Amino acid sequence: MTRGVLLEVAGLKVHFPGGRGPIRAVDGVDFVVREGETLGLVGESGCGKSTTARALVGLVPATAGRAELDGRSLLGRQRKSLRRRIQMVFQDPYASLDPRQTVGDILREPLEIHGLGDRRERRLRTIELMLQVGLDPRFLNRYPHEFSGGQRQRIGIARALALRPDLLLLDEPVSALDVSIQAQILNLLSGLRRELGLSYLFIAHDLSVVRHLADRVAVMYLGRIVEIGPKAAVFDRPRHPYTKALLSAVPVPDPEVEARRERVFLEGDPPSPDREKKGCAFASRCPLATERCRREEPMLLPRTGLGRESRRVACFEVVESGGGRAG
Amino acid sequence: MKKAPLSPERSPVLEVDGLEVDFETGDGRVRAVRGLSYRLGPGETLGVVGESGSGKSVTHLAMLGLLPDTAEVRAERLRFQGNDLPPAGSEALRRLRGRGIGMIFQDPMTSLNPFLTLGTQIAEMARIHLGLRGAALRETVVAALAEVGIPNPELRIEQYPHEFSGGMRQRAMIAMMLVAEPALLFADEPTTALDVTVQAQILGLLASLQERRGMSIVLITHDLGVVAGFAHRILVMYAGRVVEEAPTPALFANPSHPYTRGLLRSIPRLDEEREELEPIPGQPPDLLALPEGCPFAPRCPSVRELCLREEPGLRSLEDGHALACHVDLEPFDHEERS
Count of Cβ atoms closer than 10 Å to residue A310 Cβ = 11
Residue B6 pLDDT exceeds 80: no
Query: Residue B204: closest CA among chain A residues belongs to which residue?
Result: A265
Residue A60 pLDDT exceeds 90: yes
Cβ atoms of A242 and A228 within 8 Å: the answer is no
Give 3-state DSSP helix, strand, coil % of chain B, rounded to 5: 35, 20, 45
Mean pLDDT of chain A: 91
- Using the Cβ of B91 and the Cβ atoms of chain A, whether some distance falls under 8 Å is answered with no
Residue B278: Cβ-neighbour burial (10 angstroms; 0-12, 13-18, 19+):
middle
Instruction: Say how far apart CA B106 and CA B108 lie, in whole Å.
Output: 6
Residue A327 pLDDT exceeds 50: no
Residues of A in contact with B197 (CB under 8 A): 44, 245-246, 249, 265-266
Q: How far is CA A162 from CA A189, B65, B205, in A?
A: 15, 49, 48
CB pairs under 8 A between A and B: 129
Residue A321 pLDDT exceeds 70: no
Contact A148 B201 (CB under 8 A): no
- Residue-wise pLDDT for B248-292, tens only, equals 999 999 999 999 999 999 999 998 888 789 999 988 899 999 999
- Residue-wise pLDDT for A11-39, tens only, equals 999 999 988 889 999 999 999 999 999 99
Instruction: Say how far apart CA B212 and CA B197 lie, in whole Å.
Output: 23
- Using the Cβ of B222 and the Cβ atoms of chain A, whether some distance falls under 8 Å is answered with yes
Instruction: Say how far apart CA A37 and CA A202 lie, in whole Å.
Output: 10
Q: In which band, very low, low, confident or very high, does the pLDDT at B142 lie, cut at 50, 70 and 90?
A: very high
pLDDT at B321: 94
What is the phi/psi pair of residue A184, to 5°?
Answer: -60, -45
Average pLDDT of the residues in A165-175:
96
Residues of B in contact with A150 (CB under 8 A): 283
Query: Residue A150: closest CA among chain B residues belongs to which residue?
Result: B283
**CB within 8 Å of chain A, chain B residues 232-261:** 248-249, 252
Q: Tell me the pairing of strands A199-204 and A216-221.
A: unpaired
pLDDT at B194: 87
B198 min Cα distance to partner chain A (Å) = 8
pLDDT at B11: 86
Query: Residue B253: closest CA among chain A residues belongs to which residue?
Result: A254
> What distance lies between CA A79 and its chain's CA centroid?
23
SS3 letters across chain A:
CCCCEEEEEEEEEEEECCCCCCEEEEEEEEEEEECCCEEEEECCCCCCHHHHHHHHCCCCCCCEEEEEECCEECCCCCCHHHHCCEEEECCCCCCCCCCCCCHHHHHHHHHHHCCCCCHHHHHHHHHHHHHHCCCCHHHHHCCHHHCCHHHHHHHHHHHHHCCCCCEEEEECCCCCCCHHHHHHHHHHHHHHHHHHCCEEEEEECCHHHHHHHCCEEEEEECCEEEEEEEHHHHHHCCCCHHHHHHHHHCCCCCHHHHHHCCCCCCCCCCCCCCCCCCCCCCHHHCCCCCHHHHHCCCCCECCCCCCCCCCEECCHHHHHHCCCCCC
Q: In which band, very low, low, confident or very high, does the pLDDT at A326 lie, cut at 50, 70 and 90?
A: very low
Instruction: Say how far apart CA B87 and CA B97 lie, in whole Å.
Output: 12
B320 min Cα distance to partner chain A (Å) = 17
Number of H helices, E strands in chain B: 12, 13
Residue A173 pLDDT exceeds 60: yes
pLDDT at A94: 81
Residue in A184, A191, A125, A257 with CA at minimum distance from that of residue B270: A257
Residues of A in contact with B165 (CB under 8 A): 269
- Using the Cβ of B334 and the Cβ atoms of chain A, whether some distance falls under 8 Å is answered with no
Query: Residue A269: closest CA among chain B residues belongs to which residue?
Result: B165
Phi-psi region of A71 (alpha: psi -120 to 50; beta: other; left: phi over 0): left
Contact B225 A252 (CB under 8 A): yes
Cβ atoms of B80 and B101 within 8 Å: the answer is yes
- Residue-wise pLDDT for B215-259, tens only, equals 999 999 999 999 999 999 999 999 999 999 999 999 999 999 999
Identify the three-state secondary structure at position B36.
strand
Contact B228 A255 (CB under 8 A): yes
Q: Point out the residue among B222, B277, B283 whose CB comes nearest to the CB of A186.
A: B277
- Residue-wise pLDDT for A88-125, tens only, equals 999 888 889 999 999 999 999 999 999 999 999 999 99
Residues of A in contact with B268 (CB under 8 A): 183, 186, 208-209, 211-212
> Hey, of A186, A205, A206, A254, which one would you mutate to test binding to chain B, going by the most B CBs within 10 A of its CB?
A254
- Using the Cβ of B262 and the Cβ atoms of chain A, whether some distance falls under 8 Å is answered with yes
